[in-house]
Amino acid sequence: MKRFLTILFGCLFVFAGPAMANRHIDFSLHKLEADRPGNTLLVIGGIQGDEPGGFNAASLLVTHYKIKKGNVWIVPNLNFISIIKRTRGVYGDLNRKFATIGNSDPEFDTISRIKAIMLDDQVDLVLNLHDGSGFYRPTYVDRTHSPNRWGQSIIIDQKQIPAKRFGNLGEIANQVVAEVNHYLFSEEHTYHVKNTRTGEGDTEMERTLTYYAIRNRKPAFGVEVSKTFPTHKRAYYHLQVLEAYMDLLGIEYERAFNLSARGVNDAIDSGAKLAFYDNKIFLDVTNARKRLAYIPLKKASEIVFRPSSPLVAVVESGESYRVFHGNRRVTRLYPQYFEYDSSINAITIEVDGDERKVDFGNMVEVAQSFLVVPEKGYRVNVIGFKKPGTRNESGIAIQKDDIKKRFSVDKKGRIYRVEVYREKKFSGMVLVSFSGEREDLRVSDSSTVSLLNVSDLRNGPLEKDSSINSEDISHLGR
Ligand SMILES: [Zn+2]
């Protein structure tokens, strides 16, 4: 498997200030399409916000897979607001709104849009990813291994539908189960096919996404991993299932990590990076401090950012912005507002004695020391560095120990901000990293970043807009 380490920056996100109350976070659709034509698989993650195995697996498809033949369309974050709020559904259960929905329902638009995507002529097969309770077994073994459980199953509503292709749902599900059962960590994790026989009077399942799809002659399956596993193990199993479906549909792909528990864990963790305003600011917030102060945001402007993953969200919260990566709260940004200067987009830095030009928005690996080469008219501020009597910190060789650790971006005290100003205007930011890691394993050059679906603009929510619904409904099936 060929590795590719470029981080794929998903959508461009815009959100405006307090005037934009009542906006909510929308889901995103990512179309991975190969030059070589073939079938199209639609993968939906995050229909319920408290099922991180599904939405992380779907997100990894977006960021860490390249499709070489055929197409994979991915909606990794269907119920994004509930993902952030860590609840099944802020506005009730989204997977019970496919049969009927009132037009005053806050999710009316979400339902209409996802239905249209599912029924798009190009889509050959739909998968809806879930994290379910216990372990499904066709016959009762004990409380957690029984016909009433959902985990480790491929769900069909019925064996057959009158679709032109892939209508033999039962056979397909059996093939996928047989394939995935080669890759189990333990016998207990064995997958089975679960037929809900929805059309025979299951009023609950009649309202789900998959039943809507099959009634419209679109092959669709529910995919359930067991909630008993930690998130990365759930995502591991989901990816095994997704790859089995891709193989079955003749979709060819490359994956940028090893499909192991460890590999999936590291890939999920690599997902939290943010570039603001055309890369003037780039933050790796993977292991960021809880609070990052004095972030130089643009005065009287919408916030515009590009995340490294479709699960990254920036939510306005009073005077600050909270950054989420899926259901994880990664950091809180406290802004200081500046007018922006666009006269330069790079600075020259001597890194361990080597002079090089560094574009704003990049991170530079430093072993010993760095020095920003002075440029007339521009002032350099290394956040956390102070030299009495000096306002402009260019021309000074700076080592890690010269910077106060509490000003680092990351918790470990390795990554620091170098900011450039022209008089009172902010010109741009570069990060320096004293991580001691090999540079080629880091995302040090965000200018090589690939952009997907850049046209997808959206507005972030105000935090107070949606109430937290912490009601425990985790016993419910998919
Ligand atoms: Zn579910």
- Identify whether the C-beta of residue 420 lies closer than 8 Å to the C-beta of residue 429: yes
Contacts of 296 (CB under 8 A, 6+ apart): 281, 335, 336, 337, 338, 419, 426, 429
Residue 253 CA to ligand 1 center (angstroms) comes to 27
- Among candidate residues 210, 226, 225, the one with its CA nearest the CA of residue 169: 210
Whole-number pLDDT of residue 475: 43
Residue 133 CA to ligand 1 center (angstroms) comes to 9
Q: Please provide the CATH number assigned to the domain covering 8-269+461-465.
A: 3.40.630.10
Per the DSSP assignment, residues forming a β-bridge with 317 are: 320
- Among candidate residues 111, 89, 205, the one with its CA nearest the CA of residue 158: 205
Token pair of 373, please?
């080469």
Determine the average pLDDT of the residues in 151-171.
97
Residue 250 CA to ligand 1 center (angstroms) comes to 27
Residue 225 CA to ligand 1 center (angstroms) comes to 9
- Identify whether the C-beta of residue 89 lies closer than 8 Å to the C-beta of residue 173: no
Whole-number pLDDT of residue 476: 55
Residue 264 CA to ligand 1 center (angstroms) comes to 21
Determine the average pLDDT of the residues in 284-291.
90
- Identify whether the C-beta of residue 73 lies closer than 8 Å to the C-beta of residue 126: no
**Torsional sign, CA 84, 123, 452, 300:** negative
| Residue predicted with more confidence, 237 or 11 | 237
Whole-number pLDDT of residue 223: 98
Phi-psi region of 361 (alpha: psi -120 to 50; beta: other; left: phi over 0): left
Residue 46 CA to ligand 1 center (angstroms) comes to 8
Alpha helix stretches (DSSP H) within 105-230: 108-118, 169-180, 209-215
DSSP string spanning 275-305?
A: EETTTTEEEE-TTB-SEEEEEEEETTS-EEE
Residue 223 CA to ligand 1 center (angstroms) comes to 9
Whole-number pLDDT of residue 131: 98
**Torsional sign, CA 163, 165, 171, 175:** negative
Residue 227 CA to ligand 1 center (angstroms) comes to 10
- Identify whether the C-beta of residue 261 lies closer than 8 Å to the C-beta of residue 233: yes
Whole-number pLDDT of residue 477: 65
Q: 270 pLDDT exceeds 90?
A: no
Q: How far is CA 284 from CA 98, 145, 264, 290, 291, in A?
A: 38, 42, 19, 13, 13
Residue 155 CA to ligand 1 center (angstroms) comes to 12
Q: 24 pLDDT exceeds 60?
A: no
Residue 54 CA to ligand 1 center (angstroms) comes to 9
Q: 97 pLDDT exceeds 80?
A: yes
Q: Among all chains, which residue has been given the structure tokens 């996802």?
A: 114
Whole-number pLDDT of residue 278: 84
Reported as a single tens digit per residue, the pLDDT across 410-436 is 999 999 999 999 999 999 999 999 987
Read off the pLDDT band of 286 (50, 70, 90): confident
Residue 251 CA to ligand 1 center (angstroms) comes to 26
Token pair of 340, please?
């922006």
Q: Is 172 helix (H, G, I), strand (E, B) or coil?
A: helix
Residue 256 CA to ligand 1 center (angstroms) comes to 27
Determine the average pLDDT of the residues in 12-26.
47
Residue 48 CA to ligand 1 center (angstroms) comes to 6
Determine the average pLDDT of the residues in 16-35.
69
> φ, ψ for residue 411 (rounded to 5)?
-65, -30
Reported as a single tens digit per residue, the pLDDT across 31-58 is 999 999 999 999 999 999 999 999 999 9
Residue 63 CA to ligand 1 center (angstroms) comes to 23
The CA-based dihedral angle spanning residues 196, 200, 206, 209, taken in that order and rounded to the nearest 10 degrees: 50
Read off the pLDDT band of 59 (50, 70, 90): very high
- Among candidate residues 149, 128, 155, the one with its CA nearest the CA of residue 57: 128
Residue 127 CA to ligand 1 center (angstroms) comes to 12
* 425-433/415-422 β-pairing: antiparallel
Q: Among all chains, which residue has been given the structure tokens 């998968």?
A: 127
- In the chain, what is the straight-line distance between the N-terminal and C-terminal CA atoms, in Å? 34
Read off the pLDDT band of 437 (50, 70, 90): low
Whole-number pLDDT of residue 360: 95
DSSP 8-state secondary structure symbol assigned to residue 420: E
Q: 462 pLDDT exceeds 60?
A: no
Q: 245 pLDDT exceeds 90?
A: yes
Residue 148 CA to ligand 1 center (angstroms) comes to 14
- Average per-residue pLDDT in the chain? 88
Q: 3 pLDDT exceeds 50?
A: no
Q: Could you count the other beta carbons within 10 Å of the beta carbon of residue 189? A: 19
- Among candidate residues 164, 89, 18, the one with its CA nearest the CA of residue 474: 89
Residue 58 CA to ligand 1 center (angstroms) comes to 14
Helix (H) or strand (E) run with residue 220 in it: strand 220-226
**Amino acid letter, 320:** S
Q: 471 pLDDT exceeds 90?
A: no
Read off the pLDDT band of 25 (50, 70, 90): confident
Question: Edge-to-edge strand order for the sheet containing 346-351?
Answer: 354-359, 346-351, 369-372, 398-399
* 252-255/65-75 β-pairing: antiparallel
The residues placing their C-beta within 5 Å of ligand 1, an ion, are 48, 51, 130, 478
Token pair of 88, please?
């099944």
Residue 478 CA to ligand 1 center (angstroms) comes to 3
Reported as a single tens digit per residue, the pLDDT across 100-111 is 999 999 999 999
Token pair of 87, please?
């609840």
- Among candidate residues 111, 124, 460, the one with its CA nearest the CA of residue 313: 460
- Identify whether the C-beta of residue 34 lies closer than 8 Å to the C-beta of residue 69: yes
| Residue predicted with more confidence, 301 or 98 | 98
Residue 475 CA to ligand 1 center (angstroms) comes to 10
Residue 266 CA to ligand 1 center (angstroms) comes to 24
Residue 130 CA to ligand 1 center (angstroms) comes to 4
Residue 7 CA to ligand 1 center (angstroms) comes to 29
Residue 477 CA to ligand 1 center (angstroms) comes to 6
- Identify whether the C-beta of residue 169 lies closer than 8 Å to the C-beta of residue 221: yes
Q: Is 197 helix (H, G, I), strand (E, B) or coil?
A: coil
Residue 210 CA to ligand 1 center (angstroms) comes to 12
Residue 474 CA to ligand 1 center (angstroms) comes to 9
- What is the domain partition of the chain in residue ranges? 8-269+461-465, 276-301+308-338, 346-451
| Residue predicted with more confidence, 31 or 460 | 31
d(CA 293, CA 96): 42
Residue 206 CA to ligand 1 center (angstroms) comes to 15
Residue 450 CA to ligand 1 center (angstroms) comes to 31
Residue 20 CA to ligand 1 center (angstroms) comes to 31
Residue 49 CA to ligand 1 center (angstroms) comes to 8
Whole-number pLDDT of residue 320: 92
Q: 186 pLDDT exceeds 50?
A: yes
Determine the average pLDDT of the residues in 461-478.
42
